[in-house]
Amino acid sequence: MKYFSTRDTEKNSFDSAVVIKKGLAADGGLFVPDSLPSISREEIEKLCGMSYPERAATVLSKFLTDYTYEELLEDCKNAYCEASFPDGAAQLNKINDTIYSLELWHGPTAAFKDMALQIMPRLLSRALVKTGEKNTALILVATSGDTGKAALEGYKDIEGIKIIVFYPVDGVSKVQKLQMATQTGNNVNVCAIKGNFDDAQNGVKKIFSDNEAKQKLLENSYILSSANSINWGRLAPQIVYYVSAYCDMLNSGDIEYGETVNVCVPTGNFGNIFAAYLAKLMGLPIAKLICASNDNNVLTEFLSTGTYNRNRKFHTTISPSMDILISSNLERLLYFTAGSEKTADYMQQLNKNGQYTISDDIKALISENFEGYFANEDSTRKTLERFYKEYGYLADTHTSVALDCAEQYIAKTNDTKKIIVASTASPYKFAADVYEAIAHKPASADTGALDDLAALTNTEISYPLRNLADRKVNFNTVIESADMLNEVYKFM
């Protein structure tokens, strides 16, 4: 299987190892596969009898055809091992007759980003060997909180790779900030910027397209690579857990073979939901993809009107990993529905005017598969409280946005199909807001919120978040977003 850029009408193609190493295409586009493998009924039945690492290696081997199955299986076994995921990699919990929560946050940083970032560094490591790379890969990450920590944990102390993470200084939770500031490892750097997530992401994108900077880095034996969800190495492993969840529902008898389910995803950069869409295109029986947003509802508007307009107020919410106005992976959906030429044109309009409008036929194609809803802050809190009190289900703030949107979808459509709701973070990662939503009073200051939430709900603090306040702070730099390149040079 080969890959090319979403914006390249000539379709210059590359192997997956090259694509994982590069991260972003030279023309600014995102890499997409040249065809989509299918997944047959027989294969799904076989997958039902497999462990998560085996399921992952099987699905990945359809896309990463320049890796052997044995290589992928070894990496998947190491990535999704019991030490990193003591409670299992992708747990499905039945909440009520319709709604199932797919908990993707039982990994080393308590967010779903671990599902991709525990495996991607291993894929990159192999990619460097496969492509004969002699230079050090420098990973640049812009994060709204969860990616940063998950990438740091995935890449720390890996030979031949260095990583630098930029996050918006006031755009992440206290726990997230503390998780990153206390990072260990001899090849890592963490830096806060004055600005929001889009400033951080634009800064990183700018460096990626700065030829002078890349030349200077190369002279010092560095090449750039990305760990953001624009990297195909992030996206491919996310297809796996939708297939896996479907198998688990078959195994438990909750569905019959061929029965279609809906999927609802709390969305930021559009990576996670796009992975579900790819699973559907492969043949997994998924009906609707419900795109859940918070007050930053640019995607809700896009899916209902066909106009994407980033010229709007940026809201800092209690679900900060979804506080995004430019959802980069949407470009991949545009490519799959409208082709390279139109995608390049829309992206140029977005860069220039901050908006674009898709044609009616493309909008109709997208609407066959996607519906968008959003939950404001008040509804998110009320839904969080209600799911806890009615069903005994404790969700984090991001998952609550999705639960709220799933219920809106049911109310609007009367669709009775089962819905897999992606649960993207441990409630303890956003303990202060989760506590307040249920207890109707603020938690104790700082990380006292974790203990408050544990006492209130009689649940255990997620293992990566225990004793966070006692760890040594290794990083406290804050810079202007214009100084990001300088920070990279200093780190180099």
Ligand X SMILES: *Cc1c(COP(=O)(O)O)cnc(C)c1O
Applying CB under 6 A, the residues found at the interface with ligand X are 111-113, 146, 229, 266-272, 321-322, 398, 424-425
Between the alpha carbon of residue 375 and those of residues 296, 324, 380, 384, 403, the distances in Å are: 10, 15, 6, 11, 9
Residues 6+ apart with CB under 8 A from 114: 84, 85, 104, 105, 107, 108, 150, 153, 154
Three-state helix/strand/coil letters over 252-284: CCCCCCCCCEEEEEECCCCHHHHHHHHHHHHCC
- Minimum CB–partner distance for residue 384 and ligand X (Å): 14
Cβ atoms of 258 and 44 within 8 Å: the answer is no
Task: Output the CA–CA distances (angstroms, integers) from residue 39 to 239, 259, 478, in the order listed.
Answer: 12, 15, 47
Taking the complex as a whole, the smallest distance from the CB of residue 378 to ligand X amounts, in Å, to 19
CB of 211 to ligand X, least distance (A): 28
Question: What whole-number distance in Å separates Cα of residue 265 and Cα of residue 279?
Answer: 14
Question: Which residue lies nearer to ligand X by CB, 189 or 329?
Answer: 329
What is the smallest separation between the CB atom of 265 and ligand X, expressed in angstroms?
Answer: 7
Shortest separation between residue 209's beta carbon and ligand X, angstroms:
21
What is the per-residue DSSP string for 159-194? TTEEEEEEEETTSS-HHHHHHHHT---TTEEEEEEE
- Please state the closest distance from residue 394 (CB atom) to ligand X, in A: 15
Burial label for 27, CB within 10 Å (0-12, 13-18, 19+), is middle
* Minimum CB–partner distance for residue 262 and ligand X (Å): 17
Which CB, 250 or 421, lies closer to ligand X? 421
Whether 137 and 162 have beta carbons less than 8 Å apart is answered as yes
Specify the residue, 29 or 145, whose C-beta has the smaller distance to ligand X: 145
Q: Among residues 53 and 268, whose Cβ is nearest to ligand X?
A: 268
Are the C-beta atoms of residues 63 and 16 closer than 8 Å to each other? yes
Structure tokens at 448: 């006292």
Is the Cβ of residue 13 or residue 202 nearer to ligand X in the bound state?
202
Instruction: Name the residue among 370, 354, 350, 351 with its Cα closest to residue 362.
Output: 370
In this complex, which beta carbon is closest to ligand X, that of residue 267 or of residue 340?
267
Residue number, 125 or 267, with CB nearest to ligand X: 267
Nearest approach in angstroms of CB 402 to ligand X is: 8
Nearer to ligand X, 128 or 271 (CB): 271
CB nearer ligand X, residue 33 or residue 271: 271
Distance of CA 474 to the CA centre of its chain: 26
Minimum CB separation of residue 337 from ligand X in Å reads 18
Residue pair 311/355 in contact (Cβ under 8 Å)? The answer is yes
Q: Where are the beta strands (DSSP E) in 267-407?
A: 286-293, 307-309, 355-357, 370-374
Minimal distance, residue 268 CB to ligand X, in Å:
3
Spatial separation of the C-alpha atoms in residues 275 and 174, rounded to whole Å: 29
What DSSP character marks residue 429? G
Q: Locate tokens 């990994």: which residue?
A: 107
Minimal distance, residue 323 CB to ligand X, in Å = 10
Contact 321, 424 (CB under 8 A): yes
Task: Please identify, using beta-carbon distances, which residue of 16 and 294 lies nearer to ligand X.
Answer: 294
Which among 324, 244, 272, 269 is positioned nearest to 47, based on CA atoms?
244
Strand-pair category, 188-194 with 355-357 = unpaired
Given the complex with ligand X, which of 189 and 293 has the nearer CB atom? 293
